[in-house]
Structure 1
Amino acid sequence: MAALSIRDLDDSVREKLRLRAARNGRSMEAEIRAILASAVAEETPRTDLFHALVDRFSQLGGVDLEIPARNTPPRPAVLPE
């Protein structure tokens, strides 16, 4: 495994890392490893149109539409031969 040194880390960042590690029951080193592993984990990108639209507009909320009652029975589809 590789070793990594971080220079010029702000004292407030170090303190926040220490507190976060304590909350998660880990050493600071283990917490930093978990943070880095999570940051570089590959996400499967959604490339289809449906998910792109959902991602884009989901924050706007949904719409409740009234669906009218059907007055006629459904017909079978007639397909050309």
Structure 2
Amino acid sequence: MPNLSIKDVPEAWAQALRERAARNHRSLQGELMALIQRVVEPGSLPPDASTRPLTSQHRGWKTVEQIAAELRANPHDAKLCRELPRGVDIIREERDAR
């Protein structure tokens, strides 16, 4: 696969790209690939989290606060979540079993 290189990128642009990558939970390389893919293949990727409004129709693109509010609004779902083991408990159990 070919490599691309961009020289003399202004520091402000580089910082903005690093921040955008962090917001989208990607590495800088991953963010640049996503941007290039969006230009080369329009419609191939969903809008990134920094520009897309978070609504109920965008399942999987919710903030922690939105998910918590939904759980508080539906006591049945909240009860189910409390009954599930926590990740830290699973890790401790696996560690202690060694």
Give the TM-score of the pair, scaled to structure 1: 0.50
- Largest Rg, 1 or 2: 1
Which one has the bigger helix percentage?
2
Give the TM-score of the pair, scaled to structure 2: 0.41
